[in-house]
Amino acid sequence: MVFSLFFAIIVTQRILELGIAKRNEQWIMSQGAIEYGKEHYKYMVCLHIIFLISFLLEVVLLERTLSPFWPVILILFLLTQSLRIWAIQSLGRFWNTKVLILPDASIVKSGPYKFLRHPNYTIVVLEILLIPLMFNAYFTATVFTLLNAWMLSVRIPLEERALSDMTTNYASYMEERNRFSPTFQKELE
């Protein structure tokens, strides 16, 4: 029962996010955005779908149970979800699951983007670890952490090149913030 509810919440959240992304995609494309990395996007989508299937199968078929550390994992998971909402709200119509760049747009430097270059990817890294660990699904946690690291090694440089080429202030933004760990010591706008 607990697993079914947890899994349903995650799947529902992903479907809602895809709806937001689609709506944002329609708007930004109507503004003249250019899509980058189209060829890798289908693999990223497959990775996330197979992650959920693997998680489901490992828990159900191998009869995994709730972790004894579930309260801590749940708190960390809820924190990542709060950060995800903050990141999505901070980017507003610019948030998307695709790399859609509006030429000459300014970089968003508010919300978690004030401290990190890629808060959404940091959140995904944590989720891919926390979600399976909640139910002792160690195979899924290990395999998909590695696969996600590979995917991000392709996606992040592509996105950073696109932002550097198409926006007015990404180079200075990159100098002021770390990719994955918060930057608090520098004076930020």
Tell me the Ramachandran region of residue 172: left when phi exceeds 0, alpha when psi lies from -120 to 50, beta otherwise. Answer: alpha
Q: Quick one: pLDDT band at residue 180, thresholds 50, 70, 90?
A: low
In a domain, 182, yes or no: no
State which residues form the domain around 114: 2-176
- Using DSSP, state whether 116 is helix, strand or coil: strand
**Percent of the chain scored above 90 by pLDDT?**
76
173 vs 127, higher pLDDT: 127
pTM of the model: 0.89
CA distance 137 to 29: 39
**Number of domains into which the chain is organized:** 1
Q: Which CATH number goes with the domain that contains 116?
A: 1.20.120.1630
In a domain, 188, yes or no: no
pLDDT for res 46: 97
Q: Quick one: pLDDT band at residue 189, thresholds 50, 70, 90?
A: very low
Judged against a pLDDT cut of 50, whether residue 188 lies above it is answered with no
CA distance 51 to 176: 33
In a domain, 43, yes or no: yes
CA distance 3 to 71: 14
In a domain, 48, yes or no: yes
pLDDT in tens, 23-80: 999 999 999 999 999 999 999 999 999 999 999 999 999 999 999 999 999 999 999 9
Query: What type of residue sits at position 53?
Result: I
Residue 169 makes CB contacts below 8 A (sequence gap 6+) with: 106, 107
